[in-house]
Amino acid sequence: MTLTPAGGKTMPMNFSMKEGFMREDIQTERGSTSIIFDSKASQMIILIPQMQKYMVQPFGQQAPAAQYQGSGPAAPSSASKNNSSFTDTGVKENIQGYMCEKYHVTTERESGDIWMTDQLGNFMGFFHGGGPGGRGSPPPAEWESALKGRAAFFPMRVVMTGPKGTTKMEVTAIEKGSVPDSLFAPPEGWQKFDMGGMMGGMMGGGGYPGSRP
């Protein structure tokens, strides 16, 4: 996939999916970022290559595992709880060998079009968040948050315009094949990063170096 944020540079992305798991690898100017979504455990694993460590975080109270495991294709409803509307334009298009339906989407701050297919499972979202010591990324876009609650739809192309400009995303290639289970787990030898334990240790030791008591 390619992702072009509003006012930003295009970033290449890879999605790997297998039986309730999805891995997202993004290449940015600051380096690579990887996150593993585990829908069965309702958690995501954030890989930190620079430290050879990983973090585990829950999806959140608004995103139970069932939300990512739809029983089958279901057309988006006319409105969702976050005041977003999905309108079926009746336009169909073949993108990378998959038939997609074009929907016009309007949220409180964005509007545009999303081409979706029901043949690739559920979309679990992009990675939004920063690593330890890094700057956090913006929260998910409104279209992304609205799409998460809809069963068995995967966006193949997104063109949304908001106050900061136009964001574009498009799938550029799809390959079917065997995906190893190891791709959806932290690399062997990596340590789990415990933010709470680290903060507790610093507080117990009088704070971080140079801080006041």
- pLDDT confidence tier of residue 49, bands split at 50, 70 and 90: confident
**Quick one: which H or E segment has residue 148?**
helix 142-148
pLDDT at 128: 46
- pLDDT confidence tier of residue 207, bands split at 50, 70 and 90: very low
Q: Would the pLDDT of 79 be above 50?
A: no
CA distance 121 to 19: 9
Q: Would the pLDDT of 198 be above 50?
A: no
Name the percent of the chain in helix, strand, coil, to the closest 5: 10, 40, 50
Better-predicted residue by pLDDT, 133 or 139: 139
For all residues of the chain together, what is the average pLDDT?
75
pLDDT at 136: 38
pLDDT at 77: 42
Residue 149, token pair as written in the block: 């609650």
Q: Would the pLDDT of 29 be above 50?
A: yes
Kindly report the backbone phi and psi dihedral angles of residue 66, in degrees, each rounded to the nearest multiple of 5, phi listed first. Answer: -60, -25
Nearest to 16 by CA among 178, 129, 198, 205: 178
Domains contained in the chain, CATH given: 2-204 (2.50.20)
